[in-house]
Amino acid sequence: MALNHESTIREWQQALEQGTATSRELTLLFLKRIAQYDKQGVAVNAISEINPDALHIAEALDRERAEKGSRGPLHGIPVLIKDNISTGDQMHTTAGSLALAEAYASADSFVAARLREAGAVILGKTNLTEWANFISDHMTNGYSSRGGQVLNPYGPGLFDVGGSSSGSAAAIASGFAVVAVGTETSGSILHPSVRNSLVGIKPTVGLVSRRGIIPISTSQDTAGPMARTVEDAAILLGALVGVDERDPVTGKSAGLAHTDYRPFLDENGLKGARIGVIRSRYLHRCDEEEKSLYEAAIAQLKQAGATVIDSVTIPTENTDWGPHVLLHEFKSGVNAYLQTLPAAYPIRTLADVIAFNREHEEQALRFGQVLLERANATSGTLTEADYLNQRVFDLEMSREKGIDAVLQEHQLDCLLFPGSEGYGIAARAGYPSVAVPAGYTTDGKPFGIMFTGTAFAEPALIRLAYAYEQATRLRVPPVLGDGN
């Protein structure tokens, strides 16, 4: 089979090992495709910056492979990362904000360092919904004042691209790299993955270090893989995990993380699984075609050997969740991150960001900045009673009285949601989810399903998602103008 922009990590590694392809050639393939479709033609606008050293890195990795052998499955593989993940190189780290348009991070994030250690070629950074969609209460998904609007390659200007990891999703759907890293606070990996017919893994909070990622919430933030196949997503996840002495949350993952999730890829993994199907309030958000696709997915799970417990409900799913946690943690986290920038950079606090945006209102405030202003009105010390009470409430209602309660009541391996609905309760719990393609409406709009489990249930969720993917093989790539 001829290799192309749709080929998987395993396929490329076979070619690299056999000497029928080089990492340099692979990197050039993606650079050419980005040139063809990102800022011209369809103009997906998924890429915010290209790594000027990408080809040099690829050539060095080719030489290393020839002399010493491969480091592992990501050796020489081009990867894109979201533009809120710091790199200590010639690329900016901006969160899509004009206020940070000239900001260079002082060092690699833990995620970037892990990718380099694995031998990946960090090809560039992807556009995103500005400040990971925490600037305005009505911002269009995929828009940033620095990067402009990301388009969904399945329906440019027609279908929602999803957010906030919009560029990571659109780029991988468009074939601009093999895999990408997104970040999520509440839905920001899962939502755009569903919208762009991708596999997205939102890990348990603590599995992947948050160090060097422009934050929203200490409680909920995590990075995670976005890929065209479950296997590729599993490979990328294994490269990202690890205990980071400078991020206390990763201490929870000691003994629970796996540096290789491929052993959990079982095409018969649905046999004997117990899956709780969520309908209730979440299905009401789907149109009739999406509901039909959800029913077809449920039927396929049964056919593949799963025991489906239908119409289970999360006891706390109708909870009126408050906004206090994100509003308070955003100021604390952003102020701390900005202090890590080189001392000469003038933006040092959230208040500085707000002032910059006001001074450049026409360019920077197309959708306003009400969330920045509300966050800045908090103390930044996390001492307010409404924050502390909300944090305790969120944990109890999302975990013990929420997801864990329904999993235990029905002895379930996971919950199944239509699309990415339900990401909010899992986000508050810090629990993992895996989104996987589940077909298309008659007008070509992608649809997906989402498997959600308890803390550190990634192996089980990957097993179930892989078995479903292999049984259905529903994903088809978008057509970008010339049939490619």
Tally of residues, the chain = 484
The Cβ of residue 272 has, within 10 Å, a number of other Cβ atoms equal to 10
109 included as an active-site residue: no
- Maximal C-alpha separation, the chain: 62
Contact status, residue 454 vs residue 403, Cβ threshold 8 Å: yes
Q: 10 Å Cβ neighbour count for 158?
A: 11
Select which of 82, 202, 331, 445 is catalytic.
82
**23, 109, 144, 164: which is the annotated catalytic residue?**
164
Cα separations in angstroms, 233 against 127, 390, 462 = 20, 33, 9
Choose, from 188, 193, 332, 420, the residue flagged as catalytic. Answer: 188
Place of tokens 């009505």: 138
Spatial separation of the C-alpha atoms in residues 217 and 327, rounded to whole Å: 8
224 contacts 202 by C-beta, under 8 angstroms: yes
Strand runs labelled E in 215-293: 222-227, 274-278
Residue carrying structure tokens 């417990």 = 309
86 is an active site residue: no
Helix (H) or strand (E) holding 471: helix 458-472
Of 134, 159, 158, whose CA–CA distance to 144 is shortest? 134
Which token pair is 265? 């890829």
The continuous run of DSSP H or E covering 124 comes out as strand 121-126
- Give the span between the Cα atoms of 202 and 456, in whole angstroms: 11
Q: Note if 82 is an active site residue.
A: yes
C-alpha 264/C-alpha 466 separation (Å) is 9
Residues with active-site annotation = 82, 164, 188
